[in-house]
Amino acid sequence: MTAVTPTDTVRALLDLLARGAVHGPELAGLFAADVEYCYHVPTAPVVRGREAVVAELRTQTTHYSEFRYDVRSVTTTPERVVVERADSFVLPGRTDRVGFPVVGVFDLAADGTITGWREYWDTRTFAAQTRGAS
């Protein structure tokens, strides 16, 4: 049996999002019961608790489709994974992709579940691509 590393867990999460697989038990199983998630530090509210985080992710995926992430770099310890990515997705009514660079910080418990998830990115990059969109 191959041990699951913190990086494996984070990639599993991102892969589920990329597949749009947000309704199965796999997604919830990646999070600790008391997980805290902030999809944009510092302006987004902190979402607390596994069920609330899963609900937030399900809501988010109704706002876009074809989410894709490209990993630029990863640095990891047993307790933390930091992933530099280029994220992109397609907004409703559009065919082009909206993308921006982002760094995600994931805290992990000893049992391998995610206890914290914080995303840092520049909202101006997103706004510049969506300005004028209906």
Partner 1 sequence: MSWIEDYYGAWSADDAEAVAAFMAEDVVFEDVTAGHVARGPRQVRRFVEICAERVPGARYEVVRSHACPDTYAVEWVMQPMGVRGASYGTLRDGLITGNRDYWNGAVFTP
Which residues are near partner 1 by CB under 8 A? 40-43, 73, 75-77, 79-80, 82, 84, 101-103, 105, 118, 120-124, 127
What secondary structure does DSSP assign to 58-94, as a single string?
A: HHHTTS-EEEEEEEEEEEE-SSEEEEEEEEEEE-TT-
> What's the rounded Cα separation, in Å, for the pair 2 and 92?
40
> What's the rounded Cα separation, in Å, for the pair 79 and 84?
17
Distance in Å, CB of 73 to partner 1, minimum? 6
Distance in Å, CB of 71 to partner 1, minimum? 12
* 77/95 with CB nearer partner 1: 77
* 33/41 with CB nearer partner 1: 41
* 50/118 with CB nearer partner 1: 118
